[in-house]
Structure 1
Amino acid sequence: MQELYTQSPAGLSSLEVGKVLRNTYALLGMTIAFSAVTATISMAIGFPYLGLFMLLPYIGLLFAVEKTKNSAAGLFWVFALTGYMGLTLGPILTHYISMSGIEPVIMALGGTALIFFGLSGYVLVTRKDMSFITGFMMTGFIVAFVAMLASAFLDISGLSLAVSCMFLVLSSLLIMWQTSNIIHGGETNYISATVTLYVSLYNIFTILLSFLGGSDD
């Protein structure tokens, strides 16, 4: 009898890989929509810009997602995390809309969508294994995070712009890496995959917005 599915290198069938991919994209779409709602609420109530302090709740929520990703509670924490990220996006949107109008926001959204569909589509079509960039990305994110802290406390010309460019490139690579990890059976948890893709999109959108809005901060 002919096989109705193929096996991935990790031993997952193509049907199982497809299920993870569909669940990831479905949850990603819902979390983005939920973030849009919380961002709108944030703008309406004048939620303050938290700066680096936003990282404290973010890390806590990320830890909660990781601990519960294999249970139904993981879905609650995913929406808690992405809802919080929407809240932090509110004051950023308010700033750029008041400074440059709605056009930079629309262009940043379009650019983010183009990057996401272009990069993930490339991996899905070519089925390229991106595992070879794992070490590079880990090192890159550490360097970029340290540089981000330095730019926040040190007045070094051009450092903030360099940090933005580093995060833009690394977040784009992360989209390709995570998509590849799913289709090659390395990622079997759609909650983890969703969070990785969501954070990448958040970074890309805010960085593009800063470029288009005329700021490197």
Structure 2
Amino acid sequence: MKILNRTAARDAQTVTYMDSSSTASHKVLRNTYMLLSLTLLFSALTAGATVAFAIPGPGVLLTIVGYFALLFATTKLQNSSWGIAAVFGLTGFMGYTLGPMLTRYLGMPGGSTIVMTAMAMTGVIFMALSAYVLISKRDFSFIGGFLAVGMLLAFVASLAAMFFQIPALSLTISTVVVLLMSGMILYETSNIIHGGETNYIMATVSLYVTIYNLFSSLLHLLGVVEKE
């Protein structure tokens, strides 16, 4: 009888732990989506202001330095209220870097259609893949290593394409990045709901960067198609 009581007690503790873990994951997911929505809106406003006032871009070097500096600050402040300010600083800066790119595409014939199509495709891909993970509850942690290596290679290749002006390589990289970012949406969403990511500030940054890269890559691909 005592053995049965101890077993029942352990089972009850396990159920309580699972319920608590599930509640925490849902809280992180809710806070992440809320902050992500706000940062996307702020980034869009920053990009729109850059386009409207024809503000020149910061250049490749300043973009890289600014991004990693703000990312470092956000990471250091992730457990304090200042972390939210750092997230808005990072996403606002990235919106600013997106402005000159939008200006270039909007200046093309059918440019507004290209931008709106890229935006719509980004939204559909993000919502569809996120919904798949949330409904299926599948664990995509196994693709983390592959994605990390792929993104590192894509980053190095993009720098090479930029400095050596190789259009074919640039087009290939954009295609690969779309696939990698789709994988990142699966991975990051899975990471949140399975308790791998417990900080909503860092989860927001990861998903924002994923959406930013997905949108800019689709913009590039659609722009090439429109030219042809």
Scaled by the length of structure 1, the TM-score of the pair is: 0.92
Q: Distance in 2 between matches of 1:215 and 1:79?
A: 33
Letter aligned with residue 49 of structure 1: G
Kindly report which structure 2 residues correspond to 1:158-197, keeping only aligned pairs within 5 A, or say none: 158-197=168-207
Partner residue of 2:82 out of 73, 78, 89 = 73
- In the superposition, relative to structure 1, how do residues 193 and 6 fare at CA in structure 2: closer, same or farther (>3 Å)? farther
Aligned partners of 1:6 and 1:14 also within 8 Å: no
Scaled by the length of structure 2, the TM-score of the pair is: 0.87
The question of 1:119 aligning with 2:133 is answered no
- In the superposition, relative to structure 1, how do residues 148 and 28 fare at CA in structure 2: closer, same or farther (>3 Å)? same
Distance apart, 1:51 and its partner CA: 4.3
- Report the counterpart of residue 38 of structure 2 in structure 1: 30
Corresponding residue SS for 1:214: helix
The question of 1:45 aligning with 2:73 is answered no
- In the superposition, relative to structure 1, how do residues 177 and 7 fare at CA in structure 2: closer, same or farther (>3 Å)? farther
- In the superposition, relative to structure 1, how do residues 87 and 6 fare at CA in structure 2: closer, same or farther (>3 Å)? farther
- Report the counterpart of residue 128 of structure 1 in structure 2: 138
Aligned partners of 1:74 and 1:191 also within 8 Å: yes
Runs of at least 4 residues off by over 6 Å: none
Q: Distance in 2 between matches of 1:176 and 1:74?
A: 25
Consecutive unaligned residues of structure 2, counting only runs of 5 or more, are 1-8
- In the superposition, relative to structure 1, how do residues 151 and 27 fare at CA in structure 2: closer, same or farther (>3 Å)? same
- In the superposition, relative to structure 1, how do residues 6 and 25 fare at CA in structure 2: closer, same or farther (>3 Å)? farther
- Report the counterpart of residue 96 of structure 1 in structure 2: 105
Corresponding residue SS for 1:147: helix
- Report the counterpart of residue 94 of structure 2 in structure 1: 85
Partner residue of 2:159 out of 149, 154, 162 = 149
Corresponding residue SS for 1:13: helix
Distance apart, 1:135 and its partner CA: 1.0
The question of 1:14 aligning with 2:17 is answered no
Letter aligned with residue 65 of structure 1: T
Distance apart, 1:208 and its partner CA: 1.0
Question: In angstroms, what is the RMSD of aligned CA positions?
Answer: 2.0
Letter aligned with residue 205 of structure 1: F
Q: Distance in 1 between matches of 2:203 and 2:141?
A: 15
Aligned partners of 1:97 and 1:105 also within 8 Å: yes
- In the superposition, relative to structure 1, how do residues 184 and 45 fare at CA in structure 2: closer, same or farther (>3 Å)? same
Q: Distance in 1 between matches of 2:16 and 2:112?
A: 47
Letter aligned with residue 97 of structure 1: L
Consecutive unaligned residues of structure 1, counting only runs of 5 or more, are none
